[in-house]
Copies of this chain bind each other. A is one copy, B any other.
Amino acid sequence: MVSAAPAPDPRAHILDVATRLFAARGFGDTSLQLIADEVGVTKQAVLHHFSSKEALRQAVIDVILDHWRDVLPRVLLAAAASEDRFDAVLGELYRFFAADPDRGRLLVRESFDRPAEVKRVLAESVRPWLDAVASYITRGREAGHHHADVDPEVYVLHVMQLVITATASASVLDAAIAPGSDARARYERELMRIARASLFKPATHHERGKRRRGEP
């Protein structure tokens, strides 16, 4: 689903298939044989490119993390201060995970299966920019744009979790709501609304026309 082309590079092809299968079935329930069959090679060809199943796991996760580490700074740099930018950043984040639900599923699975590893990554790679975002919120709070009782750090974590799980389990959640209009669009819209309404004060006196200008 994530790749149409069979990929000329077999290593990348294996990584791709493994990512999909690990996300869908979990690490323990995905045998090297299954991955190999799906790719169209033998199990030993897989083991040729990745010295062990564990190495394959690491490689799969690294792909996600690298992608993340690449995209996040770019997105956050675009986040100056205004409410419009907030939408842009959150939208980017949402689209990142919505583009491939496997990303979120892998992250969630990993946080369950190997909490120690994930904690390390969180402490090292996530905390820095979480601090940055949190301090941005704190500034906006002191400036009176944000609700006074926001817990910036935890707010950001909760919104991120919401993005991840909403995209990761969207296909399942469809069964819970009445069928009809595009559910995915509703998920995204409502998520954005929740995030916005719980952060921004409801448009105080001054600062009315300033909001929701067109963005380039």
Contacts and interface: CB of A to CB of B under 8 A. Distances in A.
The interface residues of chain A, by DSSP majority, are classed as helix
A182 to B, nearest CB: 12
A149 to B, nearest CB: 6
Size category of the binding interface on chain A: 35 or more
Contacts of A130: 176-177
Contacts of A202: 201-202
Contacts of A151: 186, 189-190, 193
Interface in A175-202: 175-178, 186-187, 189-191, 193-195, 197-198, 201-202
B24 A112 contact: yes
**For the complex formed by this chain, how many copies does it contain in all?**
2
Interface string A65-108: 00000000000000000000000000000000000000001001
A194 B194 contact: yes
A52 interface: no
A173 B150 contact: no
A155 interface: yes
A206 B189 CA distance: 30
Nearest to A178: B153
Nearest to A24: B112
A122 to B, nearest CB: 4
Given A147-B197, A155-B194, A190-B155, A120 B29 contact: no
Interface of A: 23-29, 105, 108-109, 111-113, 115, 118-120, 122-123, 126-127, 130-131, 147, 149-151, 153-155, 157-158, 161-162, 164-166, 168-169, 171-178, 186-187, 189-191, 193-195, 197-198, 201-202
